[in-house]
Amino acid sequence: MAQEIKPTDIRKPVSADRFYPGNKNKLIKQIDDLLSNTTSSRIDGQIRGIIAPHAAYVYSGSAAAEAYIQLKNRHYDVVAVIAATHYHETIRGVSVFNGAAYQTALGLVPVAQALANALIRRDDKLISTFSGHRQEHSLEIQLPFLQTVLSEFQIIPIVVLDQDYELYTILGENLAQILAGKNALIVASSDLSHYHSDALARKLDSVTIEHIKNFDYQGLADDLSHDVCEACGGGPMISAMIACEKLGAKKVEILKYMTSGDVMDFDKSRVVGYLSAAMYQAA
């Protein structure tokens, strides 16, 4: 059942001690360790968006860190975080959280309420509801990284509740319009293929990576819909690519690809694919 969001509502953490440490000091140390072990070269240009995985940090944190280290010493006033839901939802559309803040073990992340409300007003498929936010980890898990690499910023928390290319386009185009002229970043939260052998996962994920590398969100949508490739955050990636392109990004840098099979002692017969990438406007 949809739950009304009040302007003072704070979305409490549900992923602490499950996907990342609930203890503040342990969380700071884990993220610092992940960031200090990154290897990607610094992107020369204006980063408009990133793609980052959303598994537990022990599995996908090293991939996520390659995207987030790119944001260090950059400044953004607002960050739109787009995620997909892993839970059955009774409503359809895009859920925008327009309450006061999201909370993690590192503290409160204020919501850009005026922008969130502006987005909701643009289309009746963009709705204010707790659905998609109440239990979902895929948005929350991005926030401690953002809290670490950025200083003062606000977020627009968005969860895609439905799989539909028209909906992804509505979100991407309207998001670009409300962020036009603003110092904004878009984060797409997505893992790739799930529970295949390591070899098959890499084959499936190579299709996704090629579409992202070519900024081909239509091709990605087509192949996802025909099971040529897989991504539990396909919608967020497509919407983010559409929005970033309209905001001036023309290039994509693939920063890291790995599977859970690359993590020590993980079963390589049933892995999950993880990708980090940045969409940017060349300097």
DSSP string, 71-123: GTT---SEEEEEEE--S--SS-SEEE--SSEEEETTEEEEB-HHHHHHHHHT-
pLDDT band of residue 259 (cuts 50, 70, 90) is very high
**Res 90: pLDDT:** 65
Report if residue 261 sits inside a domain.
Answer: yes
pLDDT of residue 2 exceeding 60, the answer is: no
**Res 276: pLDDT:** 98
Residue range 183-229, pLDDT digits in tens? 999 999 999 999 999 999 999 999 999 999 999 999 999 999 999 99
Query: CA quadruple 92, 94, 100, 101: dihedral positive or negative?
Result: positive
In the chain, the number of structural domains is 1
Two structure tokens written together for 208: 């996704």
The enclosing domain of 187 has a CATH number of: 3.40.830.10
Residue range 128-180, pLDDT digits in tens? 988 888 888 899 999 999 999 999 999 999 999 888 999 999 999 999 999 99
Report if residue 86 sits inside a domain.
Answer: yes
Report if residue 11 sits inside a domain.
Answer: no
Cβ neighbours around 200 below 10 Å, total: 13
Report if residue 239 sits inside a domain.
Answer: yes
Question: Judging by beta carbons within 10 Å of its beta carbon (0-12, 13-18, 19+), is residue 282 exposed, middle or buried?
Answer: exposed
Domain that holds residue 232: 20-282
**Res 130: pLDDT:** 87
Report if residue 44 sits inside a domain.
Answer: yes
Residue range 35-91, pLDDT digits in tens? 999 999 999 999 999 999 999 999 999 999 999 999 999 999 999 999 988 777 767
pLDDT of residue 1 exceeding 60, the answer is: no
Residue range 96-141, pLDDT digits in tens? 999 999 999 999 999 999 999 999 999 999 999 888 888 888 999 9
Looking at every residue in the chain, the average pLDDT score rounds to 94
**Res 230: pLDDT:** 93
pLDDT of residue 261 exceeding 60, the answer is: yes
- Report pTM: 0.95
Report if residue 15 sits inside a domain.
Answer: no
Amino acid code (one letter) for 172: G
3-state helix, strand, coil in the chain (%, to 5): 35, 25, 40
**Res 87: pLDDT:** 73
**Res 268: pLDDT:** 87
**Res 267: pLDDT:** 77
d(CA 49, CA 51): 7
pLDDT band of residue 3 (cuts 50, 70, 90) is low
Instruction: Sort residue 281 into left (φ over 0), alpha (ψ -120 to 50) or beta.
Output: beta
Report if residue 31 sits inside a domain.
Answer: yes
Report if residue 195 sits inside a domain.
Answer: yes
DSSP lists the bridge partners of residue 273 as: 259
